[in-house]
Every structure is written in structure tokens, then in C-alpha cells.
Chains A and B, each alone.
Chain A
Amino acid sequence: MNVTRRQFLRTTGFGVAAVGALGGCAPALKGDFAPKTGKRVVVIGGGWGGATAAKYVRLGDPSIEVILLEPNKEFISCPFSNLVLSGIRTLDSMTFNYGRLRGHGVRIIHEAAGSIEPAAKRVRLGEGWLQYDKLIVSPGVEFQYEQVQGLREAGDRVLHAWKAGPQTVALANQLQSMQDGGVVVMSVPPVAYRCPPGPYERASQIAWYLKTKKPRSKLIVLDANPNVVSKTALFRKAWEAYPNLEFRGSNKVVKVDPGARTVTTELGDTVKYDVVNVIPPQRAGTIAVDADLVGADKRWCEVNHVTYESVKHKDIHVIGDSTIGLPVPKSGNVANAMGKISAAVVVAMLNGRPVPQMPPGNTCYSWVSDKEAIAVVNVYRIDNGKVVQIEQKLTPAQSPAVAANSLGWAQSIWNDVIG
């Protein structure tokens, strides 16, 4: 992209304003701490959806000020993080800073948004607030710890590792420290949850690791769903190489006891473990629930399929895993697509132009060993204002070629999100 001298100076000007408003520490965030001068989009959440949206608003119209609120200083990719558990990749290889997003002129404030005030069109932050013309909310998922007895109290003794980060590394360390002959138990929550094939990729990676490094050990997968949720036949085929993997469908975990090292299923079975990984049931990120963006189920946010505007609050667009109603999986690729589409919609709306009618697409790779992967692709169209699927296509079999494609995908999409 060619950056004009005017755009460059304008971006620098924003930088000067940011120093003025945010140069101090927390008490500076009082009142309207960054008064709005032109059109402004505030983005909550710098993950796959939010980081993409912030960047693409700036790419679509550099005259719009974009402020991204994200408490984490680094972006860590959930896709590929299962490969950290098997020791095939490091977490560092999928960790990025937000520097290049700043290069696009996005102002980033590393603080969590406090709350949303839809009527006043502002976001609370510390003791102050930020006005917006358009708000894009991409809060990801929050865990429903209360659905599994003993889980909240267990703290770090029972890991989810379902948001890539320190827990991913801790779970990998637990697997490495386990004696050969040990039992690993992992639980899969009921749909809907982040990344439908993710738990089965994880099971494949743990089974591969145990088979290779601790051959007398086994993995028991306790799935709340009756069968493998995604790429079912391909995972089942891959698991023929893993006699150490025992899959138990319709086995919802309802209790964990880290003292006795047991989990209990809804059926009343108690399963003993040496290492446990409980992936808890999920709902939209807390700020979306608190801001009344969720539906009657109090879990997920219903949105317009074309604009991603909340059906409950005007000028608030919700994207990514926290949405419901579109026939799309909760995947990083879909969040990235929603980020681009919502950005184009917001740019069009703020400029009084026709709103593009763009469907998302989904590509999802899963590694089933140290060398081979499988994939599913879903494409969509918009029909009478609703997203409908055109086609779903699976790779015919697992292969190193699909794994090679997945590496190209990762390199490109990480760049699309945060580069």
C-alpha cells in the first residue's frame, strides 16, 4: 500500500495525541481522556477478529481513527498451539507483538475495556471513557467454570490450555513430566465451543506424543458430544494409528477432584488420571454478556449476517467466536474473515456508502501426527440477508502435503491479522 505524506503525518499526529493523553499512568484515564476529533472506531479485543478489524478499518479509510483495547501485550495464536503439547513447535513460534498494527496507524491501549454504554456511545476504561462512532466487539470466549464442579476451586491444578499462553506450556510440561504408563484424561465440552476440531487435533497430538515418547501410557477422551464433532471420519481414520487413544462419546465431565486426581462424568463414572486437561463449556466474553449483547441463552451474541451489527444495540458490531446464528464454525479463520467484512461495513457506513454484502469463508487444518494434517473448507454466500453455506469440502486423506499447506496458511493469515 502506498502511504501518502498526508496519511503518514496524520498517523504521526495521532501518535503525538496519544502521548499527550496516555503518557502518564492509570489516573490519566479520567473523564473523556482522548476527546474525539473526527470519525472514530473503537475495537474491543485484539485477537483474530479484533486485530484484523482494526487493521482493515485503517486500510479501508485512513482518515478514521482506530483505537484497539487489548490487555495482552502479545498476540498468541490458538491455531497451531496444540503442536506445543507434542513438542513439535514452540509457543514463541506463534507469538507476535502489536508493533506492525501500530504501523497501520492503529492506536493500541493495553487495558481491558471496563464496560460499554450503548446509549452514550462510549466505552468505560479505568475511571474514564472513550467516545466512539462505531464499536467493534471481538471478545472471544469465556469459560463456564461453574458447569464443572470443583473446576474453579482447582485453579492452576486443572488446566484448560484453550487460550494459548502459559497454560499451553504448563500442560506440555505436565505431559513431559508424567511417568511412562500414566493416564492422560481430556474432556471435550458440549457444542458450541471455540474451534470444533481443536479437541480432536489435541487428542491426536497427545496420542502421537505418548506413542512416541511414553509407549505404555494412554489417553482417555471424555466427550460431552455423542461423537467427534468435526472431520469425524478423518480423525477416526487417523486414530487407527493410536491404539493408546480411548474415545468415550456422551461422557460429559461434570466434576473434577484434583486431590483424588479423578474426574466424574454425567453418567456417574469416575476416571482416575495422572494428567488432566478439562476444556470447560464456553460462552461469549464477559464484556459482551455485561453489555447485554447476548441472546436469551445468555451465552452468545446474535448479529446481522451482513453488517455484524448486534441485533440488540445499534452501532455495536460483534465478530468472532462470541457470535451465534451464522452457519459457521467458531474458528480463527472465520474471525479473521468477520474482521475484514465488519471493517468494510463500518467504513462504508461512516462514509454514507452502500454496505458490501460479503460472506465469510473458513479454512481449518488439523495436524494428526508430527507430519500429516487434514483440512476442511467451508464457503458461503448471502441469500436474502442471511449467510448460507455453498459447500463444505474435506481433504480426501491425511498427508504431508496438507500439512505443508497449513504452514503456508498460518504464515499468511498471521500476517493478515497482525502483520
Chain B
Amino acid sequence: MTMLTLVFLLLLLAAPDAAAGPLDHPGYAKAFSCSACHGFAGNSRSATMPILAGMNTAYLKKALQDYASGMRPSPEMEPYSKMAIHLGVDDVAGYFAAQTKQPTPIAADAAAVARGRTASQVCVACHGPAGKGDPAKNVPDLTGQPAAYLAHQIQLFKADRRSPGDPALKQLKEVMKAVPDNQIADLAAYYSSLR
């Protein structure tokens, strides 16, 4: 290292840090419990845990409220949703909405993606041709989510085990019931592969 480089580095070391830190977001620390499963800033790297980064605020709020009330059954998410609501659901959901989504790093099988693309016509009416959903109708963005998570949700819809009795999901469940079991993994792979 030349002396000039060393001086340059020392000058940088001495420079004050003017940038605002993550603590400035009211939801940063309130979302600490979430990162154990959903990853830092909601960018899950796991096969089964959904990515929360960039998720529509209203959709995430409804999910947390449905988990907390027991309408959407989950022994893990019911207590954590109550905690998020206690801490301030707007701050928590707002924090994740403000994060940039990094799609799952788990690559989907190319043949399954191709089969899923063909089978995806049933999903387009609600989730759109790009799978990005429709925030105005609280329809979620499916792109880049881990395939195993998406497949599990389709199974829950088919068996009416996700939010049983929720009128908002009635039509979706009818569509999902028509999806053959051998297409579930293909659909999940396709939407997981979209960016």
C-alpha cells in the first residue's frame, strides 16, 4: 500500500457518518422477531418461509390480523401476530413494505417452470399475466417467493385449511380445487421463477 492510499483511507475513517441508519424506521426493531424465520429485512432465504420484503401493506396487515384472530390457523404465526399487533401492526407492515424484495435464491426446476407456465392460465385472472397481483384488490404478488412455500399454500387452499370460511377467498379456493395435485409443484415453480 502506498502512503497516499493510506492517507486516503485514514481520511475516510475520520469522516463523520451522515447517513440515517436503519434504526430511523419505526418498524426496524419491531420486526426483529420476524427475521428469525423471514430473514433480515424480510428477505427469507429459506425454502418454506415467505419473503415479506416489499409486500403490500394492506395484504400483510390482513394476514397478521387473520393469524392473530385464529381465522388463518398457525400455531407459530398466531402468537407472533399478536405480538406484532401489540407492537404496532402499521409499523411492522410498513417496515416490510419499505424493503426491497430479493427473490428467493433457490432455483426452480426448468422443466417444472415450463409446465407451470402452461398451467398458469387459471391464475392470471386475479394475479395478472406477470404474477404481480393487484394491491387494490388485496391480491398478492407471487413472484420470487420460495416454491415450497407457494406449493404449501395451494395445498392449504385446496383443502380449505387456509382461513376456512373467509368469504374473500371463496372464489380462489374453487379455482384451486380444480388444480390437479400433480400441477401444484409446477405452478409453484413457475411463480417462484418470475422476477
Contacts and interface: CB of A to CB of B under 8 A. Distances in A.
Interface of A: 1, 4, 6, 9-10, 12-13, 16, 37-38, 59-63, 333, 336-337, 340-341, 344, 347-348, 353, 356, 358-361, 363, 375, 377-381, 390-396, 402, 404-405, 407-409, 411-413, 415-416, 419
B38 to A, nearest CB: 7
Nearest to A359: B83
B22 A59 contact: yes
A167 B10 CA distance: 46
A69 B33 CA distance: 25
B59 interface: no
B115 to A, nearest CB: 23
A396 B75 contact: yes
B44 interface: yes
A59 B22 CA distance: 8
B123 to A, nearest CB: 24
B46 A344 contact: no
A4 B23 contact: no
Given A336-B36, A344-B29, A409-B37, A390 B19 contact: no
B140 to A, nearest CB: 19
B78 interface: yes
A344 B75 contact: no
A12 B75 contact: no
B110 interface: no
Interface residues of B, number: 40
A1 B32 contact: no
Contacts of A412: 35-39, 44-46, 49
Interface string B44-78: 11111100000000000000000000000001101
A411 to B, nearest CB: 4
B15 interface: yes
B68 to A, nearest CB: 10
Contacts of A395: 75
Contact of A408 (B23, B46, B79): B46
Contacts of A396: 75
A356 B48 CA distance: 30
Given A10-B12, A363-B37, A381-B86, A375 B22 contact: no
Contacts of A415: 39-40, 45-46
B178 interface: no
A195 to B, nearest CB: 16
8 contacts: A13-B10, A59-B22, A63-B17, A340-B29, A405-B48, A409-B46, A412-B46, A416-B39
